[in-house]
Structure 1
Amino acid sequence: MSNSPDAAQTSPQASVLAALQQLIDVVAQLRSPDGGCPWDLAQTPETLTPYVIEEAYEVVDAIRSGNPQAIAEELGDLLLQVVLQAQIAAEVGDFTLKEVADGITEKLIRRHPHVFGDVNVQDAEEVRYNWEQIKAAEKGETPAEAQRLSRKLQGYARKLPPLMAGMKMSQKAAAAGFEWNDVDGVWAKFDEELAEFHQAIAQEGKEEQQAELGDLLFTLINVARWYDLDPATALQDTNQRFIQRLSGMEAIATRSLSEYSLDELEQLWQQAKAALKQSQMRERGL
């Protein structure tokens, strides 16, 4: 019978819970002063922060690859970071994994009254509006305070990677009226910022150079927004192309790349670039 204890123990839900418990137990053993792992025992929430970011990016990369096995593996690495952070917090009495799970569950129920309550919504935009209102109330903010543009932008700058934050800030500012009349105005601003960056490099100190570089990058993000391009994805793709071409150069080279002249390296670069292009064309059946 489907309601028997044996059936319950082998149900998909029971299997998932058992797997999660095993992970929790393994992490607890790694952190145990009695026979645990020295590396894991040495970690703190702060030392693990780079791994949280790294694993999140690796999840995104796996999703982009479309490989289910890779996605599952990287999600596991990210889940490990959640469990490990909760384990460390539990050891000092801050919170437990149960509180983490309870907190997000309660938040989801609270912010979806149209699913778990009696609120009616017409579309996704109304859902988003309600979400923001509920979120503001949770923080003790008035609707007016929650809608302040500077408050929203500060949240993006504090929580997101710089390129992603820049795009979000650009989008929100444009929606609030901080926008050029046409794309020519964006390009004019880019030329202006480029000239100011050149001037800073030639005449100013490091702090001013850094500031002008930031202004230039932010303007370029605005250019990307006008053309509906994602600067973070664009840079990530360029990084991968650079690695692929460098790998191609190393495959062609007969000695260490450091032993080649600049002109010879340029020749290797062009050969690797052409070979990579041909390979991509073959993959597309062209």
Structure 2
Amino acid sequence: MTDKNLEAVQHLIEVIAKLRSPNGGCPWDLEQTPETLIPYILEEAYEVVDAIRSGDRAAIAEELGDLLMQVVLQSQIASETNQFSLAEVAEGIAQKLIRRHPHVFADVKVDSMEQIHQNWELIKAQEKGEDPNKTPRLSDKLRRYSRSLPALSAGMKISQKAAQTGFEWETVEGVWVKFDEELAEFKQALQNESKDNQESELGDLLFTLINVARWHGLDPDAALRSTNRKFIQRLAIMESLADESLENYAVEQLEVLWQQAKAKLNNEGNGNSIAP
């Protein structure tokens, strides 16, 4: 890292420390805990992904800065109670990378990407005190996905891995039968059961729909992102057509604007329907 990079990181560390200082710091920053900052970590990570997809270099740099701030802020909070410091975080990941890349930092020779992957998994198992020759249980693998991925992505990953072990329907028709069954149970729960049971049945329904998507080679996360984007796009057109705030319109008037926005998108060649 160049002196300029080191100076910039040190400046960020000092800024975060000042924000957290009981003497003249920011009241909002002083109120934060590792737990209250979780939503911001997730939000900033998603904004980084969105910026990368956009290809906007300035946006990528800005969003990476926001994400880096979260790392520094979490480390600052931890250092205040002597848990760990940013230096320990940085050195910890540096040492992990060195251990897991012996073909770069040691004299291990590799001939393929497969060997690199095998070495990585072997070293990872050794770090965790696991037997590298023992096949990990499927439930342990799936549990990691559930902990580390957003729910929709985790559902697809869990579905894929379970199917690879034979936990699978014989035909896609069987998946649709299951979907109809779960839909009926969800409707029943909405009418007669507790909130917890309703959410449980909704989860079952969504998981089955994820399996439908997997059978047809579709990405449910990408599909939902596309629908969100199209909905917002159509709403923006409605607002441009309206003479006042949309909340001042009756439902019938909103429907007229909705259909006008839909027609405008269709004429522009962007007419994938997101509503009747």
User: Shared fold by TM > 0.5?
Assistant: yes
Contact 1:156 1:168 in 2 (8 A): yes
Q: Counterpart in 1 of 2:46?
A: 57
Deviation larger for 204-213 or 23-32:
204-213
Question: Which 4+ residue blocks in structure 1 deviate beyond 4 angstroms?
Answer: none
Correspondence 1:104 to 2:93: yes
Q: Which amino acid is the alignment partner of residue 173 of structure 2? A: D
Correspondence 1:123 to 2:115: no
In structure 2, the CA distance between the partners of 1:124 and 1:280, relative to structure 1 (3 Å rule), is: farther
Contact 1:186 1:222 in 2 (8 A): yes
CA distance in 1, matches of 2:179, 2:113: 35
1:177 CA displacement: 1.7
CA distance in 1, matches of 2:36, 2:186: 35
Correspondence 1:239 to 2:231: no
In structure 2, the CA distance between the partners of 1:16 and 1:280, relative to structure 1 (3 Å rule), is: farther
1:60 CA displacement: 0.8
1:278 CA displacement: 3.5
1:137 CA displacement: 1.8
Match of 2:5 among 16, 19, 24: 16
* Alignment root-mean-square deviation, CA: 2.0
- 1:1-286 alignment to 2 at 5 Å? 13-143=2-132, 147-279=136-268
Q: Which runs of 5+ in 1 are unaligned?
A: 1-11, 282-286
Contact 1:121 1:127 in 2 (8 A): yes
Between the two proteins, the alignment pairs up a number of residues equal to 270
Q: Which amino acid is the alignment partner of residue 14 of structure 1? A: D
The DSSP-based 3-state class of the residue aligned with 1:60 is: helix
1:200 CA displacement: 2.6
Q: Which amino acid is the alignment partner of residue 264 of structure 2? A: A
The DSSP-based 3-state class of the residue aligned with 1:45 is: coil
Bigger fraction of residues in helix? 1
Deviation larger for 207-216 or 185-194:
185-194
CA distance in 1, matches of 2:163, 2:133: 19
CA distance in 1, matches of 2:220, 2:106: 39
CA distance in 1, matches of 2:20, 2:197: 46
Q: Which runs of 5+ in 2 are unaligned?
A: 271-276
Q: Report percent identity of matched pairs.
A: 64
